[in-house]
Amino acid sequence: MTDAFDPASLAQSWPKPSKPRPIVTFGAGSIVGDAHFPAYRKGGFPISGLYDPDQAKAEKLADKWGVTAFRSVEEAAAVKDAIFDLATPPGRHADVLRALPDGAVALIQKPMGNYLGEATEILEICRAKQLKAAVNFQLRFAPMMLALKDAIAKGWLGEVVDFDALLALDTPWQLWEFLLKAPRVEIAMHSIHYLDLIRELLGNPLGVHARTLGHPNHKVAQTRTSAILDYGDTVRCGLSINHDHKFGRRYQACEFRICGTEGAAYVKLGLNLDYPRGEPDILEIHPKGGSDWVSVPLAGEWFPDAFVGRMANVQRFASGEDAELVSSVEDAWHTMALVEAAYKSSAAPATPLAAKP
């Protein structure tokens, strides 16, 4: 570590592959048009085409991007040397993975199944077919998070001892029709990103205390969560998540506060504020030995840049340029185990108050 903190020295992007492979996407939902394809074009990754059982939907998106709309899973899976990009609902991942050729390379949309049992099934399929498979926990690759991780690795915060996630916002759940009747929503589909990032920074917790619930003004299964991750006697980690703060922008928030023994960081995740248009992300660091907060100029946003980095790592691992496949199915299973533990905690009774003496 140098004597003076230089925010421009922090890593914010993932190296690109020297010879990118063609990408075949399964699914034609909004995430593909809003994030996957814009990111792949920005990153210079060739898009071969996509498949969706709704052929009209697939053809509309394919025409917009000038790619092929495959007629079947089998036709899509037959593309040689492809990276198979599963933008499918969690309950469909296993069927698509079974249709891929042995030894194929795949990027699976989060979550890794609806339940831990499905995640285990996916893991077993990938092992049996020797698939090089990762889960699309792309928040790890957002410029602000790469820079944060680099700052921690370089010692600018000291030892991380506090992690707070605070969300109070108005999330448009209606954009994802399949979620409106899903039994698991908030933790499984949203806060899973934060749980995965926390695992990357702090490792696996000893356990979790959680409560997740819906709201009387709508029928989405869960949109509010409180959780405490147990990291023993030194690290405190808590999440306060409210997607029903529908009272104007003034007091809405989507932010992390990460405190170490010698420095601290503040992160604003702008995408979730006025999604999908969003606001600019923010990263500020109060570095070890510093006297004030320093703004880190960011060279991109969560969407689409995190998807660029996520795919770059998959591509580079496939070619041997990266030694590690970040968020591999082996690692992602542990994020799913944390999600499952949070739901089990939420379903369990709280510690009761003492009875009147």
Residue 269: is its pLDDT beyond 80?
yes
pLDDT of residue 61: 98
pLDDT single digits (tens) 189-227: 999 999 999 999 999 999 999 999 999 999 999 999 999
- Rounded average pLDDT over 22-41: 95
Q: CA 210, CA 229: separation in Å to the nearest integer?
A: 8
- Rounded average pLDDT over 235-259: 98
pLDDT band at 121 (very low <50, low <70, confident <90, very high): very high
pLDDT of residue 357: 86
Q: CA 270, CA 66: separation in Å to the nearest integer?
A: 30
Backbone angles phi, psi at 310, to 5 degrees: -60, -50
pLDDT of residue 113: 96
| Residue 51 β-bridge partners | 26
Residue 324: is its pLDDT beyond 70?
yes
DSSP string spanning 258-325?
Answer: EEESS-EEEEE-GGGTTTTT----EEEEE-TT-SS-EE---SS-HHHHHHHHHHHHHHHHHHTS-S--
Is residue 92 a contact partner of residue 113, using CB atoms and an 8 Å limit?
A: no
- Rounded average pLDDT over 130-158: 98
Is residue 277 a contact partner of residue 301, using CB atoms and an 8 Å limit?
A: no
Which spans in the chain are helix H?
30-31, 37-43, 55-65, 73-77, 93-99, 116-129, 143-153, 192-202, 302-319, 329-347
**Displacement of CA 203 from its chain's centroid (Å):** 16
Q: Which two structure tokens, joined as six digits, stand for 120?
A: 């285990």
pLDDT single digits (tens) 72-102: 999 999 999 999 999 999 999 999 999 999 9
pLDDT band at 1 (very low <50, low <70, confident <90, very high): very low
Q: CA 341, CA 325: separation in Å to the nearest integer?
A: 25
Percent of the chain at pLDDT > 70 equals: 99
Closest among 299, 113, 105, 273 to 188, alpha carbons compared: 113
Name the maximum alpha-carbon separation found in the chain. 74
Which spans in 66-142 are helix H?
73-77, 93-99, 116-129
